[in-house]
């Protein structure tokens, strides 16, 4: 009895798997659209991983590279607000730039903040603690 012929991916299927992997489509979903020509049915995820390992591994890298190239060109050669936005995004994610907020506190008329240190007696402390407890 002759067994089933082995699944052999086509160039078109390889291209489709690589693109879908690049778009972030989960492997289980990709396997649903790749048909085995012998059965006319979708392949399972195990067959997908076995026959399309390279496409699954490189699809995301290729897609990210294309987007980075487009963003870089827009940031360095574009004009207008979109180019500014692309440049800022690139610098924040790739050059580790960040937006910072500086807060300064000052006392009256811009002078130093005055601090008072007061040491309470045990009796004063007990009275304050009692007042707090009575409020609760």
Each residue's pLDDT tens digit, 2-27? 667 788 999 999 999 999 999 999 99
Using one digit for the tens of pLDDT, what is the confidence trace for 54-90? 999 999 999 999 999 999 999 999 899 999 999 999 8
pTM, entire model: 0.63
If one compares 111 and 30, the residue with the highest pLDDT of the two is 30
Mean pLDDT of the chain: 90
Is the per-residue pLDDT at 119 higher than 80? no
Residues 33-60 as b or e (16 or more Cβ within 10 Å = b): ebebeeeeeebeeeebeebbeebbeebe
Distance, CA of 27 to CA of 23 (rounded, Å): 11
Is the per-residue pLDDT at 101 higher than 60? yes
Average pLDDT over residues 18-46: 95
């Amino acid at each position: 009895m002759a067994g089933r012929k082995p699944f052999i991916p086509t160039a078109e299927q390889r291209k489709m798997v690589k693109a879908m992997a690049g778009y972030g489509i989960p492997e289980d979903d990709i396997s649903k659209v790749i048909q085995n020509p012998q059965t006319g049915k979708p392949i399972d995820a195990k067959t997908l991983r076995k026959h399309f390992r390279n496409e699954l591994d490189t699809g995301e890298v290729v897609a990210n590279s294309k987007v980075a190239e487009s963003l870089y060109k827009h940031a360095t050669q574009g004009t207008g607000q979109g180019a500014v936005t692309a440049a800022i995004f690139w610098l924040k994610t790739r050059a580790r730039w960040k937006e910072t907020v500086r807060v300064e506190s000052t006392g009256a008329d811009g002078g130093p903040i005055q601090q008072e240190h007061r040491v309470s007696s045990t009796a004063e402390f007990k009275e304050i603690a009692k007042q707090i407890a009575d409020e609760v």
